[in-house]
Amino acid sequence: MNGSDKYLTRLIERFYHEAWNAKDEACAREILHKDFDFRGSLGPVRTGPEGFIQYMRELWVGLPDFRCDIVEVVDTGDSAAARMKFSGTHKGLFYGVPGTGKMIEWAGGAFFKGDGRQITELWVLGDIDAVKRQLGPSARSDFV
């Protein structure tokens, strides 16, 4: 793959706009490789589309309207980085804190790899300190 194809940028857009924001699990199954490797700063490591979908469902418990906004993507062909803004209304258990009804938001960076057809790997680094500050002093250090 050369950098001019930008197939990975298209997959990243679908990943965030369709799989996450529209809660389209079928899209996640389509665009994530069967051996997809996910590591996130919220704590979990997940493998495969089904493992990642379980993570999505867990996050939606605490932030049912969780939203991912792409600020910028830098695509080099088979790898890409996205600068992100994440947000959601805290309505359920999240970081050990029961729902507060507060809108929380934080910034992050997402690092993708692909094989020409699907996303094979994703590492997300989010500003977890910002999340915990917004949730208050009782926030735990781990996601679940």
Question: Quick check: pTM over 0.85?
Answer: yes
User: pLDDT tens for residues 56-101?
Assistant: 999 999 999 999 999 999 999 999 999 999 999 999 999 899 999 9
Q: Contact at 8 Å (CB) between 135 and 96?
A: no
User: pLDDT tens for residues 103-136?
Assistant: 999 999 999 999 999 999 999 999 999 999 999 8
**CATH T-level assignment (fold) for domain 7-135:** Nuclear Transport Factor 2; Chain: A, (3.10.450)
